[in-house]
Chain A
């Protein structure tokens, strides 16, 4: 019983965060791609494909991580396990995001002087 509730909470929170972060990055990424590519249509297409790949990867990983889940016996266990799982998903997203920022850092000359 507790397991099912924790699955539902985990899935809803983590997929909401994934989708929201993806939408925000998609929105902000347009400005960067405009400087890098100088072609409106191509840049929008690339941005959309990147967004799709991101969703598939992250939601797939979230769904996979349900398989390694311990038996939950009480309400406190449920909160602990769910929060720790959501936290690790968020930290994975964070690492990916900072890698993204570093890529932008390596492209900085193209972004600032043009």
Chain B
């Protein structure tokens, strides 16, 4: 009976350490990312500020939902018997989650860069057409 109580305590403390760390990590990363993505959004939407901000916060909501949902879905730990196991399991889970967050952030950044390039090309095309019309 004593052993079951002991294992139960370790699992519980693992959850209590994992949850705040995962959620704070997500919040910090997405605040950082979306504070810096405003310049991209303004470029993508051709200096239309209101729609750029709206898109930025839509992406922010999506990012939060995806990452917090994933963090909650992978919460399940196996039975943890000793304190060493606890440390190993926690570091494995948190490390995996931070690698996942980093990959997500890179993907988002690539998406923004691609969209910006596309928008700038389009703008150049339109201005070239206008210049041609003026010459004629």
Interface residues of A (CB under 8 A from B): 21, 24-25, 28-29, 31-32, 35, 74-76, 79-80, 83-84, 86-91, 93-94, 97-98, 100-101, 104, 111-112
Q: SS class of chain A's interface: helix, strand, loop or mixed?
A: helix
Contact of A80 among B50, B68, B69, B76 (CB under 8 A): B76
Contact of B70 among A28, A80, A87, A104 (CB under 8 A): A87
Residues in chain A near residue B53, CB distance under 8 A: 31
Q: With the chains together, A79 CA to B11 CA distance in Å? A: 10
Q: List 7 A-B contacts (CB under 8 A).
A: A28-B57, A28-B58, A79-B12, A87-B71, A101-B62, A112-B45, A112-B48
Given pairs A75-B12, A90-B65, A94-B66, 11 additional interface contacts (CB within 8 A): A25-B61, A76-B12, A84-B72, A84-B75, A87-B68, A87-B70, A91-B65, A91-B73, A101-B59, A101-B62, A112-B45
Contact A79 B66 (CB under 8 A): no
B100 within 8 A of A: no
Contact of A97 among B54, B62, B68, B72 (CB under 8 A): B62
Contact A74 B8 (CB under 8 A): yes
What residue of chain B has the Cβ atom nearest to residue A86's Cβ?
Answer: B72
Complex interface residues of chain B between 39 and 81 (CB less than 8 A to chain A): 45-46, 48, 50-51, 53-55, 57-59, 61-62, 65-66, 68-76
Q: With the chains together, A74 CA to B48 CA distance in Å? A: 54
Q: With the chains together, A84 CA to B76 CA distance in Å? A: 8
* Known A75-B12, A76-B15: A24·B61 in contact at CB below 8 Å: yes
Contact A112 B46 (CB under 8 A): yes
What residue of chain B has the Cβ atom nearest to residue A31's Cβ?
Answer: B54
Q: With the chains together, A113 CA to B71 CA distance in Å? A: 39
Contact of B19 among A28, A83, A84, A93 (CB under 8 A): A83
Residues in chain B near residue A32, CB distance under 8 A: 51, 54
- 7 A-B pairs with the lowest CB-CB distances in the bound complex, closest first: A87-B72, A90-B69, A87-B73, A94-B65, A91-B69, A28-B54, A31-B54
A55 to chain B, nearest CB (A): 16
Residues in chain B near residue A98, CB distance under 8 A: 62
Residues in chain B near residue A97, CB distance under 8 A: 58, 61-62, 65
Residues in chain B near residue A35, CB distance under 8 A: 51
A2 to chain B, nearest CB (A): 13
